[in-house]
Amino acid sequence: MKGCVQQELPWKGCCVTESVETLAARVNGTIRGDHLRLIDDAAAIETASPSAVTFVMNSAQVSRLNECRAGAVILDAKIALLIPDPARFSLIIVADAQLAFQTVLPLFRTIRPRPERGISSQAHVDSTAKLGPNCYVAPGVFIGADVVIGSDCDLHPGVVVGAGCQIADSTTLHANVVLYHDVVIGSRVIIHSGAVIGADGFGYRFAAGRFEKIPQLGTVQIHDDVEIGACTTVDRGAIGPTIVGEGTKLDNLVMIGHNCEVGRHNVFASQVGMAGSCRSGDYVRLGGQTGIRDHAQLHTGCTVGAKSGVLKDVPAGETWLGAPATHELDQKRLLVSMRRLPDMKDQLRDLEKQVATMAAEMEKLKEAIAGTILSATEAPIAHRAAG
């Protein structure tokens, strides 16, 4: 914008400088190149400066290093073989490049500590609620009647915990998370801001010309080590619980309908919508904006691509794509066919012209044959008349 002065924001927060040699020692890596080069930042390949370290996760990213200005690159031994000598940057060769980069990244970032333990005087905690030791309860938190919260939990500003909820140890509820009544949350669960757990399921019956609400009298159970993204919703069951299994990760803006049972270690990307009474096995992966119809079964280890519409059960281990979703091989055949449609249209037009030409020639041939037959028939008659 005209008139604005661009300023470098202090987003890094840290002023740490380490040599390539020191970084390599931290991740049990070996070095190819300058051991003494100084590094004061970590960045992506495209934005890394000469004093920054970056990483390459697979061979497909090697070409991106052509324009890279980084001082050091973390990679594995196989990818290091693809980097010519002499390199413009130091190479730190490790077994797992992504893990090594995650290890050194905190050196160059400000890591905020957990808030000071204690219950704010500006929080409302019902007299019947029970909280374990070492919890943080921020200003503006509301904890209802008969709530049980384990140890080492963090409840950030604006969190609402409805009556009868149970929260196990070391769970974090970020700002403005809402738990409706009687929701059960496991240990080491992370729920991000704006998520709503336990709202009424979308259940109605149509009678006498209007929709009547079906009571939603179940609950929600979130098992251990689940992470739920910002503004995601998990509806309570109508009769029993809606379940999110151990280790599952739900992105922002995911919708889990009432009575669903999500298996263990599932990963759902943003804007996935799972209608009521769906079930997924373990290790199921859903791409962004995928929609699952009610009562569908997603069996163990299956994958559904982004923007797919699942209308029937997906078998174990298969990958489905498209709307309506089918096996990836079927979709690839369909895609190839669709790409050929313009050529097929031209071919069809040519065939129509050829058929029209052949039809016209057939008519001419029929007329010629008819004339010949007529002439052959009339000749004997004329001969007899002359005799």
Q: For 310-333, write each residue's pLDDT tens digit.
A: 999 999 999 999 999 999 888 888
Q: For 254-290, write each residue's pLDDT tens digit.
A: 999 999 999 999 999 999 999 999 999 999 999 999 9
Please check whether residue 383 lies inside any domain of the structure: no
The CATH number of the domain where 274 resides is what?
A: 2.160.10.10
User: Residues 216, 222, 228, 233: what is their CA dihedral angle, to the nearest 10 degrees?
Assistant: 0
Nearest alpha-carbon partner for 37 in 56, 18, 14, 16? 18
pLDDT at 95: 96
Calpha distance 57→39 (Å, rounded): 20
The CATH number of the domain where 38 resides is what?
A: 3.40.1390.10
User: What number of other Cβ atoms are within 10 A of residue 130's Cβ?
Assistant: 13
Shared-domain flag, residues 46 and 167:
no
Shared-domain flag, residues 101 and 141:
no
Helix (H, G, I), strand (E, B) or coil at 263: coil
Least confident range from 2-11, 191-200, 342-351: namely 2-11
Q: Considering 258, 299, 327, 383, which one is annotated as catalytic?
A: 258
Shared-domain flag, residues 68 and 133:
no
Find the domain containing 130 and state its range: 118-329
Shared-domain flag, residues 101 and 124:
no
Helix (H, G, I), strand (E, B) or coil at 2: coil
Calpha distance 236→241 (Å, rounded): 6
Calpha distance 218→189 (Å, rounded): 21
Shared-domain flag, residues 58 and 192:
no
Shared-domain flag, residues 222 and 164:
yes
Q: Specify whether the CB–CB gap between 106 and 126 falls below 8 A.
A: no
Shared-domain flag, residues 174 and 236:
yes
Calpha distance 147→128 (Å, rounded): 7
Q: For 13-65, write each residue's pLDDT tens digit.
A: 566 899 999 999 999 999 999 999 999 999 999 999 999 999 999 988 888 88
CA 298 to chain centroid, in Å, comes to 16
Shared-domain flag, residues 280 and 186:
yes
156 included as an active-site residue: no
Q: What is the pTM of this model?
A: 0.82
Nearest alpha-carbon partner for 272 in 260, 288, 295? 288
pLDDT at 364: 83
Kind of pairing, strands 52-55 and 118-119? unpaired
Q: What is the H or E stretch that residue 160 is in?
A: strand 160-161
Shared-domain flag, residues 53 and 134:
no
Average pLDDT over every residue of 138-156 = 98
Q: Which residues are 274's β-sheet partners?
A: 256, 292
Cis bond upstream, residue 324 (ω within 30): yes
Please check whether residue 185 lies inside any domain of the structure: yes
